[in-house]
Amino acid sequence: MTQPNELIDVVAAVRPALQATPTTPAQRAQLVYDLVWEVYEHVKFDVHGADVDAAERNRLGDVLNAALPPTSRDLRREAGEDL
């Protein structure tokens, strides 16, 4: 399946932006969350309607939950701090 050119341009812009801007793991996680959130909101309000429990919206919700940015506790644990 191919994407419309406008979406290809958006996706293609992500990596150069990341290469040009130093980011932390938490900032990259926040970026993923924010991008998925925008798609989720589009599907929820612009495609199916807020009162429709569509399968697509549920799948995006699962991705959104998985993309939740790490907490400061998560980051400290990853750095090897004894919590």
Over the stretch 20-79, which tens digit does the pLDDT of each residue have? 999 988 888 889 989 999 999 998 899 988 888 889 888 998 998 888 877 767 767 777
Note whether residue 34 is domain-resident: yes
Quote the CA–CA distance of 16 and 78 in Å, as a whole number: 27
Q: Give 43's contacts (C-beta < 8 A, 6+ positions apart).
A: 54, 56, 57, 60
Please tell me the predicted confidence (pLDDT) of residue 83.
60
Note whether residue 16 is domain-resident: no
Note whether residue 71 is domain-resident: yes
Specify the higher pLDDT residue, 9 or 53: 9
Note whether residue 72 is domain-resident: yes
Note whether residue 80 is domain-resident: yes
Note whether residue 70 is domain-resident: yes
Encoded amino acid at 29, one letter:
A
Note whether residue 64 is domain-resident: yes
Q: What's the domain range around 73?
A: 26-83
Q: For 10-22, what is the mean pLDDT?
A: 94
Note whether residue 66 is domain-resident: yes
Quote the number of domains for the chain: 1
